[in-house]
Amino acid sequence: MADDGDKSPEKDFADNTTLHGIGKVSGSEKCSLKLLWLAIFLACFGVATWQITETIIRYLQYNTVTNIKLEFENELVFPAVTVCNFNRFEENRLQADTQAYLSALLYGYYLPPPVGVYYDPVLNELVSVVRDDLDPVNTTLEAGWQLVKDWNFYVCEFKGEECTVADFEHVFTTYGNCYTFNAVVDPDNPRRQRLPGAGNGLKLIFNIQSEFYTEDPAQGGSDDVGMKVLIHDQKEPPKMDTQGIAVGPGSHAFIGISKVEYKNEIPPWGDCQDLELEYYENYTLTGCLLECRTKHVYEQCGCRLFYLPGGNDYCEPEEIANCALDTINAVTAGNYTCECPTPCDISHFQTSVSYAGWPNKNTARYWLTYLDLWDSWDEASATYYMSQNWVVLDIYYSELNYQVIEQQREMTEGDLLSNIGGQLGLFIGASVITLFEFVEYLTKRITSCCRKKYMKDKVSDVNIKPEKSFA
């Protein structure tokens, strides 16, 4: 009878493995018991294989689940607030040499204005001189809407404390000159709201000066009057043509805000991707779309619109009217594509707006006294003017909490391994140690085969060795 040292690798593995059932098959003396345990082992092995296959298939589907939670804080960092006037150019600021930009930017056609006249002795007539070297940036800065304290900007208060024009940062948009409050967060002392509700955030009062409007809907201009307001994260540039809240004169807008943070998964579980932008430090969808417009305008026209990011030369009025505006419309219509994936982290501010009529019959007296204008206006005229020109804004957190909407993987790599290990352990008792036992068995099997081949070759050499001959 062979001793234990003569056991085959299979017999040794079956007798000593931690894998349930194999030992019973090998150690049972009766054939019926061997068959029974073999059937039990194969059935359990089949169920484990089925469950593991289902687990792997589900993992490879890269499904996600959405986790929503509400975070409560004692204070919240205040967002950026961008304000624009629907009127892009003020009539009282326009000069003859800025009319070219006005017609190009507002109405899409180019009318080069005469800015000088001289006598041509050859033609024997007066000849107009046309300037073609106007700077669109300076033209907009000079002729566009501007914040001027006590002229069209009366009140700025944050949590009851006065703020000024210096607290606003100028930004170009499709509305020309716009201004952003709290554009940059001070890392050492950020503006925070510590109490919820109106009066605990930002209060603004503007005079839109409707008498200076140059917008003409008959020629393609806007027919709105009032302000455009956008609440946004400091990392995201304002895109005023498609975002924001419109507030008309003669109204007090109460704008309650609530913050929502979106955390999205990368492929293949989700679609988010943070690209590196050329002109913005952080990747945002708005920044990507603005850069896309810049790229297409430059490719088609060889210049860029002044309110788009970039370092290329500005489009001149004729280029704006004949090329740039058509390109922007083509991008909007989808004729030019923009590869702008969803960001992985998004901070969005949802708004709820309510309006009150403004002013009441006693309001004019208070503000004329406050602004020291009582000698310049009578109460009735002032009340009517305010109803046609003044816009009052209250912007505040409705509650000191924010919502986090997080896209999560339905099954992570850890979950996959845990499920596979659970199925193997439940049905056939396999573990990581079992894996090493199987490696040991393979090593013995290979070694055994090599040893048998070596012994066979040695015996063959002995059998064919020639006998010695004697003379």
Dihedrals φ, ψ of 131, to 5°?
-85, 140
Give the Cα-Cα-Cα angle 367, 82, 191 (nearest 5 degrees). Answer: 85
Contact of 439 with 13, CB cutoff 8 Å: no
Contact of 296 with 331, CB cutoff 8 Å: yes
And the tokens for 42?
A: 């194969």
d(CA 242, CA 233): 16
DSSP category for residue 96: G
CATH for the stretch 4-62+410-442: 1.10.287.770
First to last CA, the chain: 47
- Domain ranges, ordered by start, for the chain: 4-62+410-442, 65-87+145-273+341-409
Q: What is the pLDDT of residues 215-260, one digit of tens each?
A: 888 777 788 999 999 999 999 999 998 899 999 999 999 999 999 9
d(CA 454, CA 462): 13
Fold of 65-87+145-273+341-409: Acid-sensing ion channels like fold (2.60.470)
Q: What is the pLDDT of residues 10-22, one digit of tens each?
A: 777 776 677 777 7
pTM: 0.79
**What are the residues whose beta carbons fall under 8 Å from the beta carbon of 40, sequence distance 6 or more?**
21
- The answer to whether the 4-62+410-442 and 65-87+145-273+341-409 domains have the same CATH topology is no
pLDDT at 128: 42
pLDDT at 101: 60
DSSP characters for 136-162? HHHHHHHHB----BTTTEEEEEETTEE
pLDDT at 354: 95
Q: What is the pLDDT of residues 294-315, one digit of tens each?
A: 999 999 999 999 999 998 888 8
Q: Which stretches of the chain drop beneath a pLDDT of 70?
A: 1-7, 15-16, 95-134, 373-375, 451-471
Cis ω on the peptide bond leading into residue 268 (within 30° of 0)? yes
How far is C-alpha 468 from the geometric centre of its chain's CA atoms? 92
